[in-house]
Amino acid sequence: MANRKAILETTKGKITVELYEDQAPITTGNFIDLIEKNFYDGLSFHRYEPGFVIQGGDPRGNGTGGYVDPQTGSERRIRLEVSPELKHGSAGALAMARSSNPDSASSQFYITLGPAAFLDMNYAVFGRVVDGIEVVNQLRVGDKMNQVTLSA
């Protein structure tokens, strides 16, 4: 089965990301579930570090929130899923943000704006930008994800 792609329609344009379903099934499964719930639609990017990352996916918009399951009232957290093959080697790596607890990723993600090898094996890379890196480079705090969808 071919890996699916996520299409992020942002206020700056469209970004297409290949999801590594074959190499990071837990992390991509979480991201895909949130896309299918329309969780990311309307959320903004809340962190911009020049040459490093643009980060979004926080429903609170300030870096402190995650996806809360409406049935349980608990924040979903997934375990850290890393592999030596999945690296932050250049701009365009898609990975999960988390707190100091390795198993605390929920809904926040980041896209690298440059090489960040020091994050390898500590943060779950689960995809890569395949189209729209110029859009990624234009994103700043406050820019929104109007809609996030999946494609084959």
State the pLDDT confidence band at 1, using cuts at 50, 70 and 90: low
Q: How many domains are there within the chain?
A: 1
For residue 97, what is the domain's CATH number? 2.40.100.10
Instruction: Please state, as a whole number, how many other Cβ atoms lie within 10 Å of the Cβ of residue 95.
Output: 28
Q: Tell me whether residue 23 is exposed, middle or buried, using C-beta atoms within 10 angstroms of its C-beta: 0 to 12, 13 to 18, 19 or more.
A: middle
Q: Is the pLDDT of residue 26 over 70?
A: yes
Cα–Cα distance measured from residue 120 to residue 61, given in angstroms and rounded to the nearest whole number: 26
Six-digit token string for 122: 């500590």
Domain with 73, as residue range(s), is 5-151
pLDDT, tens digit, for every residue of 97-135? 999 999 999 999 999 999 999 999 999 999 999 999 999
Which three-class secondary structure state does DSSP give residue 34? helix
Q: Could you give the percent of the chain with pLDDT greater than 90?
A: 98
Residues in contact with 26: Cβ distance below 8 Å, sequence separation at least 6, in sequence order: 78, 79, 81
